[in-house]
Amino acid sequence: MDTERFDVVILGGGNAGIGVTGPARRAGLSVAMVEADLLGGTCPNRGCTPKKVLVAAGHALHEIERASIHHIAVGIPRLDWAALIDREKDMIKDIPANLARSMARRNVEVIHGHAAFTGPDTIRVGDRKLQAGHIVIATGSKPRPLPIPGADHMITSDDMLSERELPGRVIFVGGGVISLEFGHVFARAGVRVTVLEALPRLLPAMDADAVARIQAESERIGIRIETGVSVRRIEPTNGRFRVVFTHDSGAELATEADRIVNGAGRVANVDTLDLTAGNVEHANGRVSVDRHLRSTSNHKVYVCGDAVPVAPQLSPIATYEGDIVGRNIVEGPRYSPDYGSMATSVYTVPALAAVGLTEAAANEQGIAVSVHVNDMHDWFSARTYAETVAWSKIIVDRGSDRILGAHFVGHAGQELVNIFGLAMRFGITASQIRDNIYAYPTFSSDIKHMLGHA
Ligand SMILES: Cc1cc2nc3c(=O)[nH]c(=O)nc-3n(C[C@H](O)[C@H](O)[C@H](O)COP(=O)(O)OP(=O)(O)OC[C@H]3O[C@@H](n4cnc5c(N)ncnc54)[C@H](O)[C@@H]3O)c2cc1C
């Protein structure tokens, strides 16, 4: 078969890959996108979007639990889990076809199949051979393989988003974002949830005080959390599974569940790309990239999205990096990502939201900061909405009055955090945020008080 030539070949049709197509097509480059599965990738098909449908149900159950505070008498809620999964699937079912139309309008040729390098500028997809001026690795991530005997008994987030039967008990191996988000939904749906985390605390990248609050709330709703745990093995037992683990003492403990979930984070999905054939330098599943997201060994190759080994694995970041890669291909390597003002949320109920530096990171960097910490649970807005947790920490540079970080648990923090991200990105100072006039009464109107004098 003849070799087909394109200016750009993108491996992967998720947020990152789609992000590349905008700048590349606007510049008139010919673009092919190879996708092995569903167009749109993880976020709309197996990640953010379907998960949020389940989180919204968890939120409704949370509100029902609090209804009596508003003097509303409700019976014991009954959640039809199978119907909820159907609702979730129904809400996302048209996304790949809509994206296919969008790619066709952009004149991007979508090729279905698994891509791998055959040379520094050549790719094979089935029996098709593609040659490209630039190749973009946008193949996303996959659950981190765990070297535990019996690890093959574990399910993943893909399974949790599809199984129509609600398990009675679930154990998450790893206490990251996915475990806490699904753990909250499950716990509110009546599932007995255990989280086993190897590190001394959950969510190590997030502010320790914020994590302590969400851990307390998780325990309040019945989630059992064990930190500093080493999982030794997973073994089937009477139609269920037993997880054997140790603490520091070395004594073996065991706990059982219907489902064991790999919640140990995700790693770049690059191991089947034959990177060596592409002269793409890599080690331990991590592609080596420069500050322009370009392969250090093959300058025709760029990487973006979850496949980048050093950046947070978030959907807006994947899109942002895709756009940077597209512009670097068009204009030459000029642009580099800046992750400093990227807001993120852990969609527990209530959510933990954050942007910028943690207090510990600010201290490590030796920056003189004002730290505004507020337990807001007895503030009027928190009491009005019967919030179980309402907490914030805002970190301000003493010298410049710039916002360096903002952390929330509850209090609509997943929305408020974007105001702080905006401020950080565009240089709006803490005083300017405090002096802004907000609609009242809103959670945003509390920002003035959150930034009261430290
Ligand atoms: C359960 C879950 C919940 C999440 N929730 C959130 C959230 O709330 N907010 C948030 O910001 N982020 C969330 N994320 C993370 C977010 O989904 C990812 O950061 C984002 O989807 C990454 O986009 P990407 O384009 O890099 O990769 P992907 O979207 O994974 O796209 C990669 C694509 O490449 C394809 N591919 C892989 N290998 C090949 C190959 N060899 N040939 C051809 N195609 C290939 C795959 O099929 C896939 O479609 C969540 C992730 C998960 C798993």
Count Cβ atoms below 10 Å from residue 73 Cβ, excluding itself. Answer: 6
Q: What percent of the chain has pLDDT over 90?
A: 97
Least confident of 138-142, 240-244, 248-252, 306-310: 248-252
Strand pairing category for 122-125 and 115-119: antiparallel
User: What distance in angstroms lies between residue 92's CA and the mean position of ligand 1's atoms?
Assistant: 15
Q: Name the residue at shortest CA distance from atom 51 of ligand 1.
A: 47
Among 20, 42, 162, residue to substitute to test ligand 1 (most atoms within 8 Å of Cβ): 42
Average pLDDT, stretch 130-137? 98
Q: What is the pLDDT of residue 409?
A: 98
**CB of 240 within 8 A of CB of 167?**
no
Helix (H, G, I), strand (E, B) or coil at 246: strand
pTM to 2 decimal places: 0.96
Q: What is the pLDDT of residue 454?
A: 42
Q: What percent of the chain has pLDDT over 70?
A: 99
**Among the atoms of ligand 1, which is closest to the Cα of residue 18?**
25
The answer to whether the CB of 138 is under 6 A from ligand 1 is yes
Q: What whole-number distance in Å separates Cα of residue 155 and Cα of residue 186?
A: 15
43-70 burial, b at 16+ Cβ within 10 Å, e below that, comes to bbbbbbbbbebbbebbbebbeebeeeee
Q: What is the pLDDT of residue 310?
A: 85
User: What distance in angstroms lies between residue 374's CA and the mean position of ligand 1's atoms?
Assistant: 35
Q: What is the pLDDT of residue 453?
A: 52
Among 49, 315, 324, residue to substitute to test ligand 1 (most atoms within 8 Å of Cβ): 315
Which residue matches tokens 């947020």?
15
The answer to whether the CB of 42 is under 6 A from ligand 1 is yes
Q: Structure tokens of 41?
A: 């990738």
The model's pLDDT over 295-346, given as tens digits with 9 standing for 90+, comes to 999 999 999 999 998 889 999 999 999 999 999 999 999 999 999 999 999 9
**pLDDT level of residue 356 (50, 70, 90 thresholds):** very high
Looking at the DSSP bridge assignments, the partners of residue 204 are: none
Q: What is the pLDDT of residue 318?
A: 98
User: What distance in angstroms lies between residue 40's CA and the mean position of ligand 1's atoms?
Assistant: 8
The model's pLDDT over 426-447, given as tens digits with 9 standing for 90+, comes to 999 999 999 999 999 999 999 9
DSSP string covering 182-200, please? HHHHHHHTT-EEEEE-SSS
Looking at the DSSP bridge assignments, the partners of residue 196 are: 173, 226
Average pLDDT, stretch 22-43? 98
Average pLDDT, stretch 163-183? 97
Helix (H, G, I), strand (E, B) or coil at 352: strand
Average pLDDT, stretch 267-282? 97
